[in-house]
Chain A
Amino acid sequence: MSYISKPKFMHPEMSTNDLGLTRRDYEGTLTTLCGGCGHDSISAAIIQAASGMSLEPHRVAKISGIGCSSKIPSYFLSKSHGFNSVHGRMPSVATGANIANKNLHYVGISGDGDSASIGLGQFCHIVRRRINMLYIVANNGTYGLTKGQLSATADLGSTTKSGEESQFDNIDMATLAIELGASFVARSFSGDKEQLIPLLQAGLTHKGFAFIDIVSPCVTFNNTDASAHGYKNTWENYIALSALDFVPMRKEITTSYAAGKEKEITLHDGSVIHLHKTNGNYDPYDKENALHHINQHKKQGKIATGLLYINQSTSDLHELQDTVDKPFNSLNSHDLCPGNEALSDINNTFR
């Protein structure tokens, strides 16, 4: 339980990262989710991703809505500030926080109920506004915390543990994000750390709105064979379009790859994503192709994963609004108040 503090003991020779921090420094409180929950794998992946890329924990702000997914921020980066807000409204809180201080990393954690139902409107608009952040949807196709109702991402025809069948088409968060202008869109699986960790690192580094839809099975309410979001279905129908590595900016690139087999994407800070192609000549810069690719696989009952789309030439909200370099939350009365002389000029315009 989160009010039981997590034991801090560790191996004396536990490895440290560039900041001299161990994996422990990136952990959170003890999870209160069910044993085997996909969401706990996401927390673990975030811990490894942040630690591996030597992210300063206190320079991250974690923001979530309500639901099982939105509890996740408690379970990683306890040295970061977190904000567990209201159901479906994480995007607006994250937007305000981001405007207030452009210099932090923002990680939004949401679920399919939180982002595809009650918060679908806010999700659409945060994508449109190009907030510089990593937005994660821990997607299990069910309402876990209220005991297993269907969510809007549950596939047509899939059934809940109690036998309720989904009669409606599902909302695909990844295609929606691409269509609305997200500049980094990926899909992954909580069980596939090899793919998920580099995606998280790339998403955290990407400048602009980065979205990762993570299929994350609900072991208690939605892990049946008939569920598209269960472990069995996901493993069986999982199509990784490329394996990938993430090399942070400060690391020397040592691995070499056979020419023609890799695609290299350099992010704005000099970090590099290596895509090892397993799926022909997939071009992650091609929006139309990305949508086609996802939809084609969906028709066959497959889940297309990996880095689906990236566009590094868009501006984020701060660039669009041309805000000052100093974070707003550090501006004081000297910076902000025009003073009495300006006011007396303004008075004259009302005479």
Chain B
Amino acid sequence: MPKLISSSKVHTIPKVNDFVIKFANVNGSGSASANNMFAKALFRMGIPVSPHNIFPSNIQGLPTWYEVRINEAGYLGRREGVDLMVAMNEQTIKKDIDSVVSGGFILYDSSKALANELHRDDVHYLPIPLKDICLQEFEKPAQRQLFKNIVYVGALSAFLNIDFKVLTEMVSDQFRGKEKLILPNIHALELGHQYASENFDCPLPLQLKTSDKNKSKILIDGNTAIGLGCVYGGATIGAWYPLTPSTSVVESFRKYCNRLRIDPGTGKKKFSIIQAEDELAAIGIAIGAGWNGARAFTASSGPGVSLMQEFLGLAYFSEVPVVLFNIQRVGPSTGMPTRSQQSDLLTCAYASHGDTKHILLFPATPKECFEFAADSFDLADRIQSPIIVMSDLELGMNDQICDTLNWDDKREYDRGKVLNADQLEEIEKFGRYLDSDDDGIPYRTYPGTHPSKGSYFTRGSSHDAYAAYTEDGNTYAEMMDRLTKKMITAISYLPEPEISETKNKLGMIYLGTTTSAIQETIDSLGKKGISLDTMRIRAFPFHDSVADFINSHELVYVIEQNRDAQLKSLLKIECNANESQMHSILSYNGILITATHIEADILASMPELTITESLPA
């Protein structure tokens, strides 16, 4: 049988475990589960893989993409350029085909002929009559549509040399309990595999090879990990208002609570989830619960966090523990609801009117999402203030490879400074806002603790050390100064920045999902003879080591995903850092920043420096 490779005479440099494949689909066509199956199969083959959903704010009809980078070296940030495009969306096919690198491949549904203007001389075409195959093989209209996706995954298994057994095992896992679905799915995979093997030279020069890189790793998204972290951290109350991309935090919390938080004896629930009428109510519920001694959180994104501002000020000033997960998306206003950004740093650091400052945590991996979520409840109780965990859509909604999650069974929750009835007995006069330990953190009591001692009035209006209303300016100023002192104490409880230093003159500062591009940037610049130290910030207010890092370098690149260099602003305000010592590298198109972008910006900035001096000796 003659085997076509394609009409193209272009040669492709063989690539093993190092390429980008992108799926262009129509939203609502059932492609998501097929694409997830593809990525997870690669993960099970031990290959480092990072999928990114680029999806519309829409339920059905608009374009959606799924981009998968495969990289044996473990560079799992985004990379521009597509090596293989699965072009399944007629609305975007021109742009999708144009985005393929020279020598790349295009898999498309050849049930309909490809328009002339879509032909390129420098790429290979992989025509498969997906629609016709499904029409012939399946009877139900829904199956004919859905299985097109499974057939192309089957074809890819032949093209790329995916272990077919891994795919069939995944189908069995996925449909456990719905056995009727297993056989038709496997049949669809086989149809694709068979068509590709019979009509093309398989595998292509792009190939996958089983590896061993994923031992002790899991593939999980950040929001799922946060929901699980809330269960482990002892949250009993989740109050929320649905908002992309934060919704799956509460979905995950609900799922694991239903599994892990039902009292075995009575069948009753050790959790409460309230879908509030808006984000104001959501955080109000969490604050009411925190005031009354239960661990509570809310999860939201930009528009919701804007609504929460007044309540954040109340919790800061009246010193009530509360946890807020901000899964950042593109602003301002409605912005791009399904794209990612790090653009709420300033609005969260100083949320609400008046002088305020809030504790922010910046996870970079799903594992850190789990850990910071659990830790945030201890921190909120210890510091008696809001803790805002700053994730983003990229981390929250995409599967990522990370180390397995662990829990120390010896760990007890830190409930902070709370006086019980016996302790109150020994105190002559309880002062809710007295700085008894000289660390800025006062003692609190839960309502109902003692018949005659420990009650106080919580208020957002100015109050003295005994929680009584005051308009005395000095008393007010003393309270504000103690809150400043408390925030300084808080730093010692926060995760320290991760610093990698070898006395280079140049440094990089970044946080969150920007981290995915850093190692690749370092290695690539290293090959050009440029070395940089790095600091990944994990919390705000900053540790002293942050200012030290800036001061010990001639120039630091502050790399972040927003327009206005918000992290750099925070460094200027809080570390007294010199503008001339910091150079911004910004990305704010809503898509994850790439190593290529960072490297290009660093190289472009070099003429401003005396490069030779900056190079290591």
Give residues in A with beta carbon < 8 Å to B. Answer: 2-3, 29, 56-59, 61, 63, 73-74, 78-86, 89, 91-101, 103-104, 121-122, 124-125, 129, 317, 321-325, 327-333, 335-340, 342-344, 346-347, 350-351
Contacts and interface: CB of A to CB of B under 8 A. Distances in A.
A322 B291 CA distance: 22
A101 B293 contact: yes
A326 to B, nearest CB: 9
B528 interface: no
Contact of B451 (A58, A83, A340): A58
A343 to B, nearest CB: 5
Interface string B399-434: 000001111110111000000000000000000000
A96 B285 contact: yes
Contacts of B274: 95, 99, 129
A83 B270 contact: no
A94 B457 CA distance: 14
Contacts of A339: 407, 409
B459 A84 contact: yes
B470 interface: yes
Nearest to B44: A351
Nearest to A324: B268
A97 B287 CA distance: 8
B293 A343 contact: no
B197 to A, nearest CB: 29
Contacts of B447: 58, 61, 80-81, 97, 101, 104
Nearest to B265: A324
B263 interface: yes
A328 B404 contact: no
A81 B456 contact: yes
13 contacts: A86-B311, A89-B310, A92-B239, A92-B287, A93-B284, A93-B285, A95-B274, A96-B292, A98-B288, A124-B277, A331-B234, A344-B404, A346-B228
B469 A2 contact: yes
B237 to A, nearest CB: 5
A264 B207 CA distance: 83
Interface in B439-469: 445-452, 455-461, 464, 468-469
Interface string B289-308: 11111101000000000000
Contacts, number: 233
B468 to A, nearest CB: 5
B284 A92 contact: yes
Contact of B446 (A86, A93, A329, A338): A329
B292 A101 contact: yes
Given A89-B284, A96-B287, A80 B455 contact: yes
A333 B256 CA distance: 16
Contact of A350 (B218, B290, B412): B218
B272 interface: yes
A340 B407 contact: yes
Contacts of B171: none
Contacts of B452: 58, 79
B288 A93 contact: yes
Contacts of B413: 332-333, 336-337
B288 A336 contact: no
Given A58-B448, A93-B291, A336-B236, A99 B407 contact: no
A320 to B, nearest CB: 10
Nearest to A81: B447
B268 A322 contact: yes
B218 A86 contact: no
Contact of A2 (B289, B411, B468): B468
A81 B455 contact: yes
Contacts of A74: 457, 469
Given A93-B288, A333-B411, A351-B218, A104 B278 contact: no
A332 B414 CA distance: 10
Contacts of B327: none
Interface residues of B, number: 75
B539 interface: no
B266 A333 contact: no
A84 B260 contact: no
Contacts of B269: 321-324
B288 A94 contact: yes
Contacts of B266: 324-325
B232 interface: yes
B288 A78 contact: no
Given A58-B447, A100-B292, 9 more contacts: A79-B452, A80-B447, A92-B284, A125-B276, A324-B268, A328-B272, A332-B412, A337-B407, A351-B218
Given A58-B451, A81-B447, A343 B406 contact: yes
B219 interface: yes
B300 to A, nearest CB: 14
Contact of A82 (B261, B285, B457): B457
In the A-B complex, the 4 residue pairs with the closest CB atoms = A96-B288, A92-B284, A329-B293, A100-B294
A331 B448 contact: no
B546 interface: no
A92 B285 contact: yes
A324 B289 contact: no
B288 A97 contact: yes
B280 interface: yes
A16 B446 CA distance: 27
B286 interface: yes
A221 to B, nearest CB: 21
B314 interface: yes
A131 B333 CA distance: 34
Nearest to A21: B451
Nearest to A337: B232
B234 A97 contact: no
Contacts of B285: 92-93, 95-96, 99
A85 B455 CA distance: 16
B270 A63 contact: no
B237 A104 contact: no
B220 interface: yes
A99 B237 contact: yes
B46 to A, nearest CB: 11
Which of B260, B283, B457, B461 counts the most chain A CB atoms within 10 A? B457
Contacts of B449: 58
B270 A324 contact: yes
B564 to A, nearest CB: 29
Contact of B261 (A58, A84, A121, A336): A336
Nearest to A84: B459
Contacts of A333: 234, 411-413
A104 B44 CA distance: 52
A61 B278 CA distance: 24
Contacts of A85: 284, 287-288, 314, 458, 460
B460 A84 contact: yes
A97 B292 contact: yes
A338 B281 CA distance: 29
A336 B277 CA distance: 27
B186 interface: no
A251 B44 CA distance: 71
Contacts of A56: 451
Nearest to B470: A3
B517 interface: no
A338 B407 CA distance: 9
